[in-house]
Chain A
Amino acid sequence: MGRYTFMRGAWALLLAGLLIAGQSLRAEPLVVGANIGNVPWEFQARDGQYVGFEIDLARALAEALGRELELRNIPFNGLFAAVQSGRIDVAASSISVTPQRLGQVAFTQPFYDSDQSLTVLKASPVESLEDLKGRRVGVDTGSTGDIWATAAQERYGIGALARYEGLAPAMLDLQSRRIDAYLSDIPSLLYYAKDKPFLRIAERIETGERYALMLAKDSAVLEPLDAALSELKRKGTLAALHEKWFGQAPAADSSTVTVLPRPKAP
């Protein structure tokens, strides 16, 4: 009798231990921060759901890692501090890899080749960068467009730069003519201008930048995430996402379909 009680107690203890272990083993969700409103990468559909190329990508990556996905809306310029402070695991917001950023944060391999673009109102006299003399140009705070425009301000005689927290407020100011042009990543603007006949993309500015997912320097997720990204490229998932969001297949030698090494800090 005493022996039975002892055995039962032992079993109960073992079971409880397994349950507790199971709880802690069940993976924490993968927290991904994104600047919601950055079409077509991450934005809110009419029903309030977050959708977009990078939302689909984050979902596929979380699934490959066997973790739940948790999305957080964070403005672009706040993403850097968010990964560094560990508030989010991964930042996805069409973030270009730059040497400057590599000194402070880590990136997965790139998955999209991009350029900058100059967007104006249809009736605007601005036809190219050469027409920006003395004009006001909008950019996104701290973006590669901001970096490019700041460096090129003197060369093109740009009157002033206005810095925004994303596409929507900049477009309001373009329409109320507080700015004459908006300089930002071309895929977003192509997508945004598609159903807006009052907008015109005056020039493609070739910068050869590449988007990647951004993490903290010492992140433990970096390697498994990068490996999962390689796998998604091989399986054709990324090519399918490109088809879905841009209506065409990616170029054969683009970073969207080619498995690449992770960018290293200079």
Chain B
Amino acid sequence: MSIFVGNNTRLVVQGITGGEGKFHALACREYGTNVVAGCTPGKGGQDVEGIPVYNTMAEAVAKHDANTSLIFVPPAFAPDAIVEAAAAGVELIVCITEGIPAMDMVPVKAYLRAKGVRMIGPNCPGVITPGEAKVGIMPGFVHKPGRIGVISRSGTLTYEVVHQLCESGFGQSTAIGIGGDAIPGTNFIDCLELFAKDPDTDAVVLIGEIGGTAEEEAAEWIAANLDKPVVSFIAGQTAPKGKRMGHAGAIISGGKGTAAEKMEALQKAGIHVVISPADIGVTVEKVMK
């Protein structure tokens, strides 16, 4: 078992006829993901190397019984694509798009919540259950099937962590990049709840970064609810105040959201906080002994 995606994923790629959408749709299929359809308004009837393209998500979902959507649509149109996917009845939306205005996400998030549809991202690398399904832009070959759950606000840093885990001999049950925006579709706690219940996940690696209070909230939740070990690293210990460090959400504002505060909260919750990003793999090794 695993969380979010796996052998029963039936994927539609929104924006499949664009350069990025096509490239990654094919990479997901090559990894073994069941890519059943694509959607680009106005390009219905075409196909992308055998993947049928539809004008609307409603058609794509109805014809192929799709349950998951992966979005590569520019920021101005992504909110529409997200709501279209949810309205068409998919259970999980993974939105890769970077740069959606925060105020555009506010009503979209409220809609998804009311509709009971899960979204991962935006501005994220996606989610992968190694050996089963890859729904995102991460390099599949870096990952190995195993029993460690990974949750991260970052992209390449997640690959680095997964690489270290594999070097230490640990595969992953599922690795999720929740994205670097201020309003993510899925937060740490959402993922932790699922990992807590997943019999195939023995421990969790949580990679946070400066900005907001998501890590502090996760720490509180873990202390009260999770009896699996958690190893955590917070990026941005050297980040200056008031500067947005690449990600829209990675900013220390009003003196809040520093790495030091987050690390302290995690430590208090009994989580193994790693100070050096080079020590994540070896720390998991120590904790799992």
Co-assembled chains A and B: no
- A-side residues, CB < 8 A to B, are none
